[in-house]
Structures are given as structure tokens and as C-alpha cells.
Structure 1
Amino acid sequence: MIDTRRLRTLQAVADHGTVTAAAAALHLTPSAVSQQLAALEHEVGHRLLTRDGRGVRLTAVGRIMLAHAHEVLAQLERAEAEVAAYTTGTAGEVTVASFSTAISAALAPTLSALRTTAPGLSIRVRDAEGDQGLAMLLDDEADLTIAVEYRGAPGDQRLTRFPLYAEPFDLVMPSDLGGLASVAEEPWIGPHPGNPVHDVITFACEREGFTPSFVHSSDDFRAVVALVGAGAGVALVPRLALRDLDLSHVVVRQVPGPERRVFAAVRRGMEAHPLLKPLIEALQAISGDLT
């Protein structure tokens, strides 16, 4: 009988690429992770991992086991959700990972609404910029995440997604320099590479025939707008991120095309969990009024 805890260990190593990183995500020691993997290999009767530089990679049998691990663990999540539903568990705690703009625009109003509709639901919020929230969800550090789709992002069969909203980007300039194509040679300010918004901005500029030269980097749009106001460059900023900011020293121009698509995600099998279902429904209701 294969121990499901070892399947979770295999998932973590596949996600993080090294035993050390997987151990940190699982809150175990590297030695414990190595022991779990060795035991799993003994149960399966084949090597599952091989050295790859400083990290490891899955063997062919390892990839087969990983695919089955996804299915087995999703089924266990589903079983837990059904048991919770059967026992009408309407009180408990949920951890949500989200980027800051979505916390302000969607999650905070959702929490306010749930105080009336689901008073037994306690929600812990964790700020997670870029794709950190998805990693937290897969590492079981969050029960739900709010994240952004980005170019080239593979679909993950371990997750179930719920579309929330799509918001346009506005061009923010120190003075009125024109449209997007007219600022091709300007210095750019934007999120760090790895943040999905960085990819959205780059793609939008490439469609206009140029690659933006990012001189300054920040994942905090308040800081981005402040730098634009100081004359440090131009930026494309999601419209909701501009709410409640001081825009008196910048020019904001609407531009067609670029937008960020925001979604909520849970681990597959947890969609109907009685603590997650009202949260998802409330998020979708609140998000419907944002655009």
C-alpha cells in the first residue's frame, strides 16, 4: 500500500526541483524528505528521481507516479469535502492568499458580506504577489488563492479555477506623451519579472511593436505611480490599482487591449467544501460589480 504522505512529498519535489526546497515547503527536514522518497521508491519498486545538476528530476516512472499522485490526492480532497458537507460543517477557518489589489477590491468586501451570510466562517488573509499564491495553494499553505492569468502559464490539473473579473490597464505618464506607441523609447516602471502583470505589460507593448525597457521595478503600484510622478518613467497600471491613489502629479490615459484576468483557485476536489463554497460564491458576486 502506497502511503499518500509520500505522494505529497513527490509532488513537492516535482514542484520545487530540490529536496531542500521541498522540505521547506512541507515544513520537514531534508533528511525526512529523502527518507519519504526512498520509502516510496521501495514501495513502487523503481527509481522515481535522478540527479539533475544541483537539483533532481523525475524519471519516466516518476512522471507516471506524479500523474497518479495528482488524481489520488484530489480524490482525497473530494472525500474530505463530502464528509465536511455531510456533517454540515459551517464553522471553521479558511486561509486565502491574494495579491494586494484583489484584497482591497474583492476580498475585503467579500469578508464584510460573509459576516452576515456565513458568520461561522473565519478567514485569514495572506498577501501573495505574483504567482506566490498558487505556490502556497499547492503547498497546502492556503485553501484558496486569488491570482492572475499570464501568457504561457500552463493549466494545472490539480486546481479548479473560478473566473472573477478582468480589468483594463491605464497608461500612467509624468505628462501627456500620447498613446502607448508614443512612449516606446521612454524608461519604464513595472513589476518584477515573474509577476504575471510584468508579462501582460510586455505583451501589450510587443503588440505595439516595441519591447519596454524596464529601468525601475516594484510590485507595489503606489510606488510605481509615485516614481512616474517623479519623472522616472512611464507605466501601465491595472485600473483598480489606481483607485484611491494620488494622481495629481501624473497623467492617466486609457489604452485599448491590455487587461489582467483574475481568478480564484482551490485544489481540485475542494470545490464543494462547505467552508469554501460560500466564499467562492461571494467572491464571484462581489467581482461581478468591479468591471
Structure 2
Amino acid sequence: MLDLDRLRALHAVAVHGSVSAAAEALHVTTSAVSQQLAKLERETGHKLLERSGRGVRLTDAAQLLVAHAESILAMVEKAEADLEAHRGAVVGELTIAAFPTAVRGLVPAALAALRADHPGLRVLVREYDPLESLPLVARGDIDLAIVQDWNNEPFAVPDGLEKGSICEDVADVALPAAHPLAGRDVVGIEELAGDCWISSTPGSICCDWLVRTLRSVEREPRIGHMVYEFASQLALVAAGLGNAVLPRLGRCDIPPGVSVVALRPTLIRRIYAVWRQEAARRPAICAALDALRASARSLQPAGRDEKTTVVAAQRP
């Protein structure tokens, strides 16, 4: 009979590309993974790994076994989720990935509520861009990811994953105080399209979205500076070096020299939680989703500026 832990080790090597990366993902030593693979080779009577340069590659027999291992591990995860659902207890470990403003604006209150209501649940948070976190959920490295899309550019959920709405978040534009349009209540994105912009790093969901949005108004984007943190972006805006799109969720303090103006048409980020279909019945997933939605509902306008309100989504 095939041993589940040995199949999991082989699957991890296939997914992560090396024995050392598999060991890191499984939170064990490289030696432990190598031992599991050696035992699996003896168990199956087939050589599973071959040296390829400085690394290894899977043999044909290993590729065949990995295909079965994916199905077996998915069935095991579903069985474990069904047992948790039958028991109804919110226990165990849950790893959540989120992008920076969600980590700052949504996650702290949600984690505090989960710790108070479900002391048997251990939650771990990891900060990732949505383009990074979705593959991590798909291959089982992360249990739940908080991701985003925009009202003018929805994203498709990859096969094998499910999503649930958390909230909607409006974005404004941060302009240097000396900008000719800084005194306006509302500005059209087309009026700013030719300006210099400050955005996150290339390949991130926000940077790619900004480039496509500016191109939609028939202007080639001028992304002058690329930094990830909004506080750093605002420092550059305050110095008069460009504009930045500024979501309201998790918004940091606005420094002197920056004017925040509403955009027309309104730009809305839709924020979701995403998890694997096999884990859909886990009470921990349901509890985390409820806590995140409650955190979104609890958000209050900053000071008296109603434009900072985050609109919570209804339960599906």
C-alpha cells in the first residue's frame, strides 16, 4: 500500500521543483524528504528521481505517480474537511495570504475576533500580491487568500478554487498639492492620463491594472516611479513627482503636500476570499470568511470624510 506521506513528498518535489524547496514547503528537513522518496522507490520498485544538472527531474514513473497523488491528496483534504464540518469545531491551523492594504485594513480585527471566538484555531498571515497568492492556494501552500479585482477588470477564478465576496473599496487619486486639478472635488481619469504616475512594482496586480486603465483612455502610461508601499508612494506624490491611485481600505495618513480627489468614473476594488474547493466545508474557512466580512462592516469613515467608507458586500 502506498504511504500518504511519501506521496505527499513526491508531489511537493513535482510542484516546487526540487527536494530542498519541497522540504521548505512541507516544513521538514531535506534529509527527511530524501528518505521518504527513497522509501517510496523501494515501495514501488521504480526509480523516481534522476539528476539533471545541479537539480533533479522526475522519471516517467514518478510523473505517473504524481498524477495519481494529486487526486489522492485532494480526496484526503476533502475527507478531512468533511470530518471537520461534521464535528463543527473551528480548530487546527489556517494560513491566510493577503495584499498589503488588506493586511492593514481588514486582517487585524478579523484575527482578533477569531482568536477570541475560536481559541483552538491557529491563524498564520502571509503578505502576497494576489497574482502570487492564487497559485499558492491552488497548490495547497496557503489555505485562504484575500485577493482583489477592479470593476473595470474582473478576474476569473482558476479551476479548483472558489471565491466569496468580502467588501468593495473605492479608490481616489493622490495629486501633488501644486497640481492644476488638485482643488477639484472630482476629476476624470482621462484628464490625468498624460501625467507621470507612481505605482507598485511591475507584474503586480495594481501596476498592471493601472497601465491597462490608462491605455483604455488612449494614452500610453508614464509610470515614472515604482514602489510597493502606499506611504512611500504618497511621499513621492508630496514631493511633486507624480500621481498615485489611492484605495481607501487601510489608507495611511495623508502627508502635507498631497491632495486626494475622487475619480470619475468611480474606481472600485472588489475584495474576495479564495480557497480550494476541497476545503470548502472546513469550519475554519467559514469562520475566517465571516470574521473578514465583520471586519469590513465595522470600518468607519476616517474623521468626517465619508469618502473613506468601505462598503461591505452581502453574504452570498
Say whether the fold is shared (TM-score over 0.5).
Answer: yes
Partner of 1:240, secondary structure, is: coil
Q: TM-score, normalised by structure 1?
A: 0.76
State which drifts further: 179-188 or 40-49. 40-49
Counterpart check, 1:101 vs 2:110: no
Note the C-alpha offset of 1:228.
0.9
* CA 74–184 in structure 1, closer or farther in 2 if over 3 Å, else same: same
How many residue pairs are counted as aligned between the two chains? 289
Report the structure number with the largest CA radius of gyration: 2
The 1-side partners of 2:72 and 2:14 are apart by 16
Note if contact 1:129-1:219 (Cα within 8 Å) is conserved in structure 2.
Answer: no
Q: Deviations over 1:30-79 (max 9, x none)?
A: 56556656766787788888999987787888776555444322221222
Partner of 1:194, secondary structure, is: coil
Instruction: Give the partner amino acid of 2:196.
Output: P
The 1-side partners of 2:53 and 2:162 are apart by 33
Note if contact 1:171-1:255 (Cα within 8 Å) is conserved in structure 2.
Answer: no
Note the C-alpha offset of 1:276.
2.9
The 2-side partners of 1:274 and 1:199 are apart by 35
The 1-side partners of 2:83 and 2:158 are apart by 25
Note if contact 1:170-1:255 (Cα within 8 Å) is conserved in structure 2.
Answer: no
* CA 120–238 in structure 1, closer or farther in 2 if over 3 Å, else same: same
Counterpart check, 1:276 vs 2:278: no
* CA 49–147 in structure 1, closer or farther in 2 if over 3 Å, else same: farther
Note if contact 1:96-1:123 (Cα within 8 Å) is conserved in structure 2.
Answer: no
The 1-side partners of 2:8 and 2:155 are apart by 22
Note if contact 1:98-1:128 (Cα within 8 Å) is conserved in structure 2.
Answer: yes
Counterpart residue number, 2:189: 180
Counterpart residue number, 1:260: 269
Partner of 1:237, secondary structure, is: strand
Question: 5+ residue gaps in structure 1?
Answer: none
Counterpart residue number, 1:82: 82
* CA 262–69 in structure 1, closer or farther in 2 if over 3 Å, else same: farther
Note if contact 1:130-1:194 (Cα within 8 Å) is conserved in structure 2.
Answer: no
Note the C-alpha offset of 1:115.
5.8
**Counterpart mapping for 1:69-218 below 5 A:** 69-114=69-114, 118-131=117-130, 132-134=132-134, 137=137, 142-149=142-149, 155-174=157-176, 175-177=179-181, 179-218=188-227
The 1-side partners of 2:34 and 2:124 are apart by 32
State which drifts further: 60-69 or 103-112. 60-69
Q: TM-score, normalised by structure 2?
A: 0.71
Q: Deviations over 1:133-190 (max 9, x none)?
A: 4455456554322223587977444433222223233222212445323333433211
Note if contact 1:74-1:158 (Cα within 8 Å) is conserved in structure 2.
Answer: no
* CA 91–39 in structure 1, closer or farther in 2 if over 3 Å, else same: closer
Counterpart residue number, 1:223: 232
The 2-side partners of 1:57 and 1:137 are apart by 24
Partner of 1:275, secondary structure, is: helix
Note if contact 1:147-1:262 (Cα within 8 Å) is conserved in structure 2.
Answer: yes
Note the C-alpha offset of 1:128.
0.7
Q: Deviations over 1:78-136 (max 9, x none)?
A: 222233344443455534332232133322333344466x2435453424131444455
Note the C-alpha offset of 1:263.
1.6
State which drifts further: 217-226 or 58-67. 58-67
Note if contact 1:204-1:257 (Cα within 8 Å) is conserved in structure 2.
Answer: no
Note if contact 1:187-1:214 (Cα within 8 Å) is conserved in structure 2.
Answer: yes
The 2-side partners of 1:275 and 1:136 are apart by 18
Report percent identity of matched pairs.
36
Match of 2:243 among 229, 234, 246: 234
* CA 269–254 in structure 1, closer or farther in 2 if over 3 Å, else same: same
Q: Deviations over 1:177-214 (max 9, x none)?
A: 45323333433211112322222222212212234233
* CA 148–87 in structure 1, closer or farther in 2 if over 3 Å, else same: same
